[in-house]
Amino acid sequence: MRYDYESMADKRRRLVEKLVREGYIHSEKVLSAMLRVPREEFLPEDLRHLAYEDTPLPIGMGQTISAPHMVALMCEVADLDVGMKVLEVGTGSGYHAAVIAEIVAPSNRSREEWGHVYSIERVPELAKKAMENLRRSGYADRVTVIIGDGSKGYPDAAPYDRIIVTAAAPDIPKPLIEQLKKGGKMVIPIGTRYLQYLYVVEKDKDGRIKKKPVTSCLFVPLIGEYGWKEWE
């Protein structure tokens, strides 16, 4: 199938301008990452024409790619910076991981300054597709995709400066608190099928945890040992 890259770039710019007007994007780094990452490359062929609608979309296996405003908001409240090591739980399509990578390891900075994104996905079919999407769009060297239960984190690369969870948990998974650096931040949706809140969780220098609500939200469940067994 052919698509028109120029018009995709125009649509991307228009969407990003709308997210700035609506207050979801306010930093230069999130702005330039959202302008650089081609969301269409992370969607099934038949949905690519909807890439710049501000809505979640199906990516197969009953899962979704998050809406662009939620990706932007989560990156803003995570307070990401160049050089950071980030764990994303819930790779899905790989799009959010690419946006995080574009902030912690920007295309226009030297590799010596680059941080890294570890992204973990429990559905192997999605993880494999995400790896393909990340390779095609040029992020494979900045994002490592792992297949597994992300409610247990990924201890092999811990501790992390930031942890971003893109599926709703019943509570903050204990292993994720343990794998967060002192002074680090985690962004995580917590709640049930019908009522969820996005939280920023901060671990201070003494290891104490502070939890601040950001907004209401709606995510698919975090299924795993420290997540849901199934929705209640």
Give the residue numbers marked as catalytic. 66
Q: Which lies closer to ligand SAM via its Cβ, residue 42 or residue 203?
A: 42
DSSP H helical ranges for 22-156: 28-36, 68-78, 95-104, 124-136
Would you say the C-alpha torsion 160, 211, 150, 95 has a positive or negative sign? Answer: negative
Report in angstroms how near the CB of residue 15 gets to ligand SAM at its nearest: 15
Q: Which lies closer to ligand SAM via its Cβ, residue 184 or residue 227?
A: 227
Q: What is the 3-state secondary structure (H, E, C) of 31-97?
A: HHHHHHCCHHHHCCHHHHHHCCCCCCEEEECCEEECCHHHHHHHHHHHCCCCCCEEEEECCCCCHHH
Q: Which lies closer to ligand SAM via its Cβ, residue 210 or residue 229?
A: 229
Report in angstroms how near the CB of residue 171 gets to ligand SAM at its nearest: 14
Amino acid at residue number 163: I
Q: How far is the first Cα of the chain from the last one, in angstroms, to the nearest whole number? A: 42
Q: Which lies closer to ligand SAM via its Cβ, residue 4 or residue 162?
A: 162
User: Which residues in this chain contact ligand SAM in the complex, by CB under 6 A?
Assistant: 63-66, 89-90, 92-93, 95-96, 120-123, 126, 149-151, 166-167, 219-220, 222-224, 227
Report in angstroms how near the CB of residue 123 gets to ligand SAM at its nearest: 4
Q: Which helix (H) or strand (E) holds 200?
A: strand 196-203
Report in angstroms how near the CB of residue 208 gets to ligand SAM at its nearest: 26
Q: How far is CA 5 from the centre of its chain?
A: 24
CA separation for the pair 143, 70 (Å, rounded): 20
